[in-house]
Chains A and B, each alone.
Chain A
Amino acid sequence: MAQVELTGIAKSFGEVRVLRDVSLEIRDGEFVTILGPSGCGKSTLLRIIAGLERQDAGRIRIGARTVDTLRPNERDIAMVFQSYALYPHLTVAGNLALPLRMRLLSWQQRLPGARWFSPHIRAVERDINRRVSEAAALLQMETLLPRKPAQLSGGQKQRVAVGRAMVREPRVFLMDEPLSNLDAELRVHMRAEIAQLHRRLGVTFIYVTHDQAEAMTMSDRVVVMMDGQPLQFSSPGAIYSDPVDLRVARFVGSPRINTLPGVTTGRRSIDLAGLELPFDVALAAGERVTVAIRPAATGVAGQHGLPGSGVPGLSGRLVHRENLGSDLFLHARIDALDTTVIVRQDPSAIDAFPLGMQLQVDIPVDQALAFNSAGARIRSRVVARAAAS
């Protein structure tokens, strides 16, 4: 069993506080992604779990052991790096064998020529070779074994790096942006492969990335980190549809979530430039809040014969259209709020939306999320009520 438990991890580099009080509980066999913009401390957190950096405060448990004082190789972990970090002077087979040789042979036994004198060393080496070829077969890279890293493509290097992590049979896999150096197509392919590998090995994966697509597609749970703190730790679905913090809502989802400045009315509602959204929370009047809504959750009611949907709307002017083939995104300028709202529509309807037209942007109350001025979510029971009615 290898659950990973972080308690109160803090780390500073000089004056800069990179991590402040990070506590996470990662279950055995779980695929957890740490998602965040660059500089949020996610890589540092991973390096602390690996033992490559020492935390200033806090405790790490892997499985039943506290590993704070253990060296990286004693922690039963393996790590895949963004730059792959293959040993350039060794063949692929040599790269895969090195961690096993380090673990299974003493330094005297690793001396060149020592194998000629000891049947034991030869037996161990046979075992290592067997495990190397097994890993190579699993990753379908047997033909690469005699090559040097310089002769490999990016995707192949990536695969070798994963293989090198795999042969050690670690209890926890750590991956630091392993796909960032690959081209877009290969990235999608490797995403599926890594997810498959996780299912097959069944060990704990901790995966660091700034790419939300990777986080959303591969993970059981996602940690969104900002400014050295985890903001939310939940399933990809919940990260997207039920963010607890405005920064999470903004970071996840493409195109970005629409954010609208509003003011509380004191009548259990929020005022958006004259549009009153009912919100089932008691808030004092006159507080500034942010209403956020996904482009996909909005709708349009136009002037040209398009029927109104019956939900509250904001009037705006169409300033830009983006047709992605699968989605059509309309950028509507809302002058009253001095902002632009992105609305998703079906691309087949593109002719109904000439640039410059006036339109009514629907804000369905049950899909809208409200955040207070500090960015924290204001929970409302309107969703439940809307569903019930």
Chain B
Amino acid sequence: MTTRELGPIAGALRHIILMVGAAVMIAPFVWMVATSLKPQGEILVAELRFLPERWAALHNYTMAFTRVPMLRFLLNGVLVTAAIFALQILVNLPCAYALAKLRFRGRNALFAVVLLGLLIPLHATAIPIYILLHMLDLVNSYTALVLPFTISVFGIFLMRQFFMSVPNDLIDAARIDGVSEIGIVWRIMLPTAIPAVTAFGIFSVVAHWNDYFWPLIVVRTKDLYTPPLGVAFFRLNDAGTEYGPLMAAATIVILPLVTAFLLAQRRFIEGVTFTGLKR
């Protein structure tokens, strides 16, 4: 489909639809930022206005950092997200390589199990995993935040699909050159799979940075809170919900992702479109 096939009116219409869609998507974020600048009194007025009459930005953002250890939460978030992603790659790539390129008995059955795993939502296994962690006495720890996500069937599936397209000759050449099978995974497959790893990284990091459900279940100590839990801290405390600091905290939490997106926009788009394409 190219613009050439559409008339000027249809073309304009298409852009109007896209712009409305974009506005709907972006409005809550604009509202969040606007609210984070207003004092409590102005937030709850009936009138619709974006900029505050009396600026409370300093107060709200100071509150966001002082009422809760926001830096600690952000650090936890970075730590947990990075650990999850690193371990996922460590597990996924060898698995995906074996499923894509090694011939062994039961490979297809194993791959079918991986596909089956894609269909099971986290919420279905949350309770059993929680009980397991409890029995191992790991609840309320970094391990509890990271461990359940180290094996990502989605990641294995995605990397396997990518590895299928890597020519066998390349792997054979590496074998003749004396690279071991594990060496092939890290020295040959990983460098050629950077687009796929990036795509998977986006999914993984965004999902786990924003995850509210699992940290809420396994974490009790405030020291281990991840950013989304930190945001929720402003809800419904003694003084009622303080929307200003809440929205300030929310803005702070999404800031790293937005910054990362702006810095590496091209890579992000490559990564996302990559998953929609065959190659």
Contacts and interface: CB of A to CB of B under 8 A. Distances in A.
Interface in A161-186: 164, 168
Interface in B135-182: 167, 169-170, 172-179
Contacts of A50: 172, 176
B62 interface: no
Contacts of A82: 169
Interface residues of A, number: 26
B176 A103 contact: no
Interface stretch (A2-10, A85-93, A187-195, A343-351): A85-93
Interface residues of B, number: 16
B169 A89 contact: no
B257 interface: no
Contacts of A103: 178
B172 A89 contact: no
B169 A85 contact: yes
B63 interface: no
Contacts, number: 59
Interface in B24-46: none
A87 B178 contact: no
Interface in A19-77: 47, 50-52, 71-73, 77
A98 interface: yes
A102 interface: yes
Contacts of B175: 51-52, 71-73
Contact of B178 (A73, A85, A88, A164): A73
A369 interface: no
Contact of A102 (B169, B178, B191): B178
A240 interface: no
Contacts of B183: 107
B173 A85 contact: yes
A87 B188 contact: yes
B192 interface: yes
A99 interface: yes
A89 B191 contact: yes
Contacts of A84: 169
A77 B176 contact: yes
A81 interface: yes
Contacts of B172: 47, 50, 52, 72, 79, 81, 85
Interface of A: 47, 50-52, 71-73, 77-79, 81-89, 98-99, 102-103, 107, 164, 168
28 contacts: A50-B172, A51-B176, A52-B172, A52-B175, A72-B176, A72-B178, A73-B176, A77-B176, A81-B169, A81-B173, A83-B169, A85-B167, A85-B169, A85-B172, A85-B173, A87-B173, A87-B188, A87-B191, A88-B192, A89-B192, A89-B194, A99-B176, A99-B177, A102-B177, A103-B178, A107-B183, A164-B173, A164-B177
